[in-house]
Structure 1
């Protein structure tokens, strides 16, 4: 593997960007600019390259099915031929059932195998209280997405700017990613984007139709 491709999903642009900057070891992503499209930035990683693909806010309630399908195609193009890992950056006190449903729809739109390539990053709550980890680990929405991702998750405090601690967090995060990839370095194949160019129009129409179906499904109780 000459290039590690990482796609950031979930939470806010600022939090996703903080994780991306941690991986890239610089301030490549502007924390204060909420990008309206997918953005890919690369950098060195030991003897290979890392490419981090930050995404728009796919969890917003007013996002239309057509716009979501456009975003997904854009993400697929930027991470071609496929990502090695999705980092699901979650703010626990803000992660609702609707967010969980949308995030699952996004992953399943890419591939049925997307959960096997996903690592849940849980940001430390804004107001830390005794027992907050146990509280949020028992949240049904967080528990379910962690279960679907084969219990690949990591707590992470993105507010600490100490250089030594940031280096430790980066090493911890990369170690977890490597553990996920140790059995296979194969990237995820985007199932619905593998057709030949002559079938591209059909693919995009299918993607839109699929998103409309997913977004119209009733929420689980």
Structure 2
């Protein structure tokens, strides 16, 4: 196991979209491991390291809110971008007013989590890379609030605030610390990028406000 960190994250809203919902956005009850990994990578990531999420503490009560949002029907395709770069098309644009759609979103209100994670060194690590180096870089950036891009909670419009929990700092208490266990059902673990972008899932259960994330190899 690599060097471990604890990061407190929160926001006004979050939406960790269930992939089985094709039209309307419906959030999982809690943050997914892939969303937690993406948030950590927003603070510090290099090809030499791979973040591994171990536990997700659900700090606030799970509350949902239903809203309608404007979205666009399609994205600009990769082929259209390549044609524009090669001079085959004169313009590269998307008229939002012609593709705007209103979709319902069942999102989380006032979520807060504590992420426990570590990183492993990858085959891309060079002689200048070491666990101590990347660990200290992450600590420095997290303490100063630095990030490569603004972390978000599922959707980019739901910005995340983060704070490093120091080793001697008392951890926040979960709302569910004295509540019965809760079966969260099948949850997206992460995407297997080495196997044709295959999604992998695991059976999530919240015990005393903590979701323990199994090793990625154990996902289905």
TM-score, normalised relative to structure 2: 0.23
TM-score, normalised relative to structure 1: 0.23
Higher CA-based Rg: 2
Highest RCO, 1 vs 2 (Cα 8 Å, sep ≥ 6): 2
More strand by percentage: 2
